[in-house]
Amino acid sequence: MSHLLHRRDFLKQSSAAALSLTFGAYPKRKVAPSDRVRVAHIGINGMGTNHLNWFAKLPEVEVVGLCDVDETHLAKALSTLQTLQPNTTAKTYPDFRYLLDRNDIDAITCATPDHWHAQIAIMAFQAGKDVYGEKPLSYSVREGQKMLKALNRYDRIFQLGTQIHAGDNYHRVVELIKAGAIGKVHTVRLWKTGFPPVLGPANYQTPPSTLNWDMWQGPAPVSLYTPERCHFTYRYFLDYSGGVFQDFWCHIADVVWWSINPTGLKRIQAKGEAPEGIGDAPKWIDIDYEFDGLNLHWTSTPPDVPGAAKRGIGAYFEGEKGTLLCDYNTREITINGVTMADIAEIPITIERSPGHQQNFIDSVKSRKQPESNLAYARQMTLPMHLGLISYRLGQPLEWNAHKEKFRHNADANALLSREYRKGWDLL
């Protein structure tokens, strides 16, 4: 079956046709609280291997499908699954649409490169499946909008793979800030250190026989195969991702949106430097964001504030009464010159997570959205996209938060979406 088929044509030629199913009208298997959730994994190398390990170890989960465009990944993942679930009857697939065509699958996880996230999630929603999707949410702003629209239309569950969200530290930081421990927050500084690897020179060659390079590229612009553009190092090419910045934004911005939910974004100004080698995602990027009542700054080096230099990633909240510094696992609150790790008088008010993956499985059964749900994730991810657009254009940008478009800048608005490569708009 040709991998260039659009979804409607694909379904006509698949087993769905024999079952007289119509596009977007799949029967939805109801998962009772006592049932095992049937999960399939799409993209099973790197983070996808973690997905497989996490979900296969949950007693309430049965892994029933594995999908990847690289045969070596499939073989490795199946071997891993047979160790984790010795009686598995899971099937393997080179094309995720065969997997979505099964009406006995409740949920999928997606750990493909970024440029595939949105189409796979939307098609899963259409197929009656819930989605645990890796960060970032989408490749573009418009994709995130389409994902939310599809999730609501098909009444699906979505969890963003920001695993750190489930930790106690973030929960406690949010409690402290929401309780007013440091007063009203007026400035936040976020940072992540580290440069991308220097890639190249390009080693153009015939793709390995085990890899479907055409499908790996999918909706992205076509390119000759070179190992540097594929698998893990894809993230350093703007055709597929946004470098170190896009890789880590969601993990640390998450605690900001959870605790103070910045709104009314007005202005974005980014500066940075192109990398050495054949990659084109920024070597480093610094961005200033102006929200209603809040200034937020992203830097590629720690800011000049107490305690930041010893952390490779972090968030520094400046409030009217004090400051709070945190990373994934630690926090320091400073009020009137006194630094402490906690304030005992502030009660625990947020229910702790049972684990990020368990939270998703619980939501599949309860039909209540999980903590890192799509609506929340989209708002938290959107400024990341806008910062990269300002970097690419080399200019400050004015933003209309209500209309979700740039003011008086056609070039910037054109970058809010990307036309999919011919034959790969599968929706």
Q: The tokens of 195 are what?
A: 């440069």
> pLDDT grade, residue 340 (50/70/90)?
very high
Say if residue 129 is in the same domain as residue 178: no
Nearest to 280 by CA among 336, 198, 213: 198
pLDDT at 96: 98
> pLDDT grade, residue 6 (50/70/90)?
low
Say if residue 25 is in the same domain as residue 46: yes
Q: How many domains in the chain? A: 2
Report pLDDT digits (tens) over 391-425: 999 999 999 999 999 999 999 999 999 999 999 99
Report pLDDT digits (tens) over 266-275: 999 999 999 9
143-174 burial string, b = 16+ CB within 10 Å, else e?
bbbbbbebbeebebbbbbbbbbbbbeebbbbb
Query: CB atoms < 10 A from the CB of 421, how many?
Result: 15
Is beta strand 405-406 parallel, antiparallel or unpaired with respect to 397-400? antiparallel
Say if residue 204 is in the same domain as residue 105: no
pLDDT at 21: 33
> pLDDT grade, residue 12 (50/70/90)?
very low
Say if residue 47 is in the same domain as residue 184: no
Report pLDDT digits (tens) over 205-223: 999 999 999 999 999 999 9
pLDDT at 31: 74
Say if residue 149 is in the same domain as residue 177: no
CATH number at residue 65: 3.40.50.720
Choose one of 122, 139, 165: the last residue of a domain. Answer: 165
> pLDDT grade, residue 9 (50/70/90)?
low
pLDDT at 32: 64
Query: CB atoms < 10 A from the CB of 78, how many?
Result: 17
CATH number at residue 390: 3.30.360.10
Domain presence at residue 373: no
**Which range of residues forms the domain containing residue 43?**
7-165
Domain presence at residue 360: no
Say if residue 207 is in the same domain as residue 306: yes
pLDDT at 30: 73
Contact indicator for 141, 417 with CB cutoff of 8 Å: yes
Say if residue 76 is in the same domain as residue 151: yes
Place of tokens 């009406």: 103
Report pLDDT digits (tens) over 49-80: 999 999 999 999 999 999 999 999 999 999 99
On average, the pLDDT of the chain sits at 94
Nearest to 276 by CA among 377, 201, 166, 378: 201
Say if residue 111 is in the same domain as residue 250: no
Report pLDDT digits (tens) over 99-138: 999 999 999 999 999 999 999 999 999 999 999 999 999 9
Domain presence at residue 425: no
**Share above pLDDT 90 across residues of the chain, in percent, rounded to a whole number:** 92
Say if residue 157 is in the same domain as residue 177: no
pLDDT at 18: 35
Domain presence at residue 109: yes
Say if residue 231 is in the same domain as residue 312: yes
In this prediction the pTM is: 0.93
Say if residue 37 is in the same domain as residue 186: no
Domain presence at residue 329: yes
Q: Is the pLDDT of residue 182 over 70?
A: yes
**Share above pLDDT 70 across residues of the chain, in percent, rounded to a whole number:** 93
Domain presence at residue 250: yes
Choose one of 143, 165, 187: the last residue of a domain. Answer: 165
Say if residue 40 is in the same domain as residue 113: yes
